[in-house]
């Protein structure tokens, strides 16, 4: 019966059940994806009755939403880390392309390393009203991408005429690649072919952005 909470250990009141349940849910999603995110199981993991979860979440959907948020943030963090861990290049144009490349690699690498979390980050949540507007595009991951794309234009590494909707273009390439490798027909590719496919895709995208 693990608990990462620092207070109220073993007492009747848990202390921070909201976070504990979310973390347990993330653990479930990690191996097993969104289908494995089961409210009762999360409660079991925390060592609490299933009913207790209803004090903190408005049912299963709400828990799923919280877990999904964590997964999205993890993805964003992994992309940012991939950018940060590379060696910056002196030439600004080359540097902006290095970042873009790192972004895509980080995206795909996260999907491969944490396929459960990745799939959860994009899972459907029932009974959720669509945000109708483009507010979703203010998500951190999207803004990170937009910022790097702006940089490629500013440094001349990307043709300005390609800039509109370039977020969707780049995202599509990385997302499709990740899905096909993780979940789709490319799963049976040998590792080296997968590596080649990843870099071929990124190369074509960048070449396309430049013309």
Task: Say whether residue 139 binds a second copy (CB under 8 A).
Answer: yes
Using only C-alpha atoms, the chain has a radius of gyration, in whole angstroms, of 20
Alpha carbons 12 and 18: distance in angstroms, whole number: 15
Q: Which stretch binds a second copy (CB under 8 A): 19-27, 63-71, 75-83, 159-167?
A: 159-167
Alpha carbons 209 and 25: distance in angstroms, whole number: 39
- Of positions 9, 185, 191, 192, contacts a second copy by CB under 8 A: 185
Count residues binding a second copy (CB under 8 A). 48
Alpha carbons 190 and 176: distance in angstroms, whole number: 18
Residue found under tokens 């590719």: 189
- Of positions 36, 62, 77, 186, contacts a second copy by CB under 8 A: 186
102/158 with CB nearer a second copy: 158
Q: Which does 12 bind (CB under 5 to 8 A by kind): a second copy, DNA, none?
A: DNA
Find the angle CA(58)-CA(140)-CA(84) to the nearest 5 degrees: 130
Closest separation between CB of residue 60 and DNA, Å? 4
Question: In the complex, which residues of this chain contact DNA (CB under 7 A)?
Answer: 8, 11-15, 17, 38-41, 47-52, 54-56, 59-61
Q: Which does 165 bind (CB under 5 to 8 A by kind): a second copy, DNA, none?
A: a second copy
| Nearest-10 crossing angle of helices 191-210, 92-113 | 140
Contacts of 28 (CB under 8 A, 6+ apart): 36, 37, 38, 41, 42, 45
Which residues would be at the binding site for a second copy (CB under 8 A)? 122, 124, 130-134, 136-137, 139, 142, 162, 164-166, 168-169, 171-180, 183-189, 193, 196-197, 200-201, 203-211
């Amino acid at each position: 019966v693990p608990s990462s909470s620092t207070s109220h250990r073993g007492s009747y009141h848990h202390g921070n059940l909201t976070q504990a349940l979310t973390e347990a849910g993330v653990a479930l999603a990690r191996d097993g994806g969104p289908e494995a995110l089961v409210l009762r199981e999360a409660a079991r993991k925390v060592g609490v009755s299933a009913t207790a979860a209803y004090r903190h979440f408005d049912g299963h959907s709400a828990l799923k939403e919280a877990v999904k948020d964590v997964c999205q943030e993890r993805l964003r963090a992994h992309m940012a880390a991939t950018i940060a861990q590379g060696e910056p290049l002196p030439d600004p144009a080359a540097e902006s392309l290095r970042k873009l490349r790192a972004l895509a690699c980080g995206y795909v690498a996260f999907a491969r390393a944490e396929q459960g979390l990745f799939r959860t980050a994009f899972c459907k949540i029932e009974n959720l009203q669509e945000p109708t507007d483009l507010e979703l595009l203010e998500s951190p991951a999207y803004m990170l991408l937009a910022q790097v794309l702006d940089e490629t234009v500013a440094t001349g590494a990307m043709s300005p005429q390609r800039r509109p909707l370039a977020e969707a273009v780049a995202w599509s390439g990385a997302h499709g690649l990740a899905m096909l490798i993780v979940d789709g027909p490319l799963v049976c590719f040998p590792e080296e072919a997968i590596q080649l496919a990843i870099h071929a895709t990124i190369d074509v995208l960048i070449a396309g952005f430049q013309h």
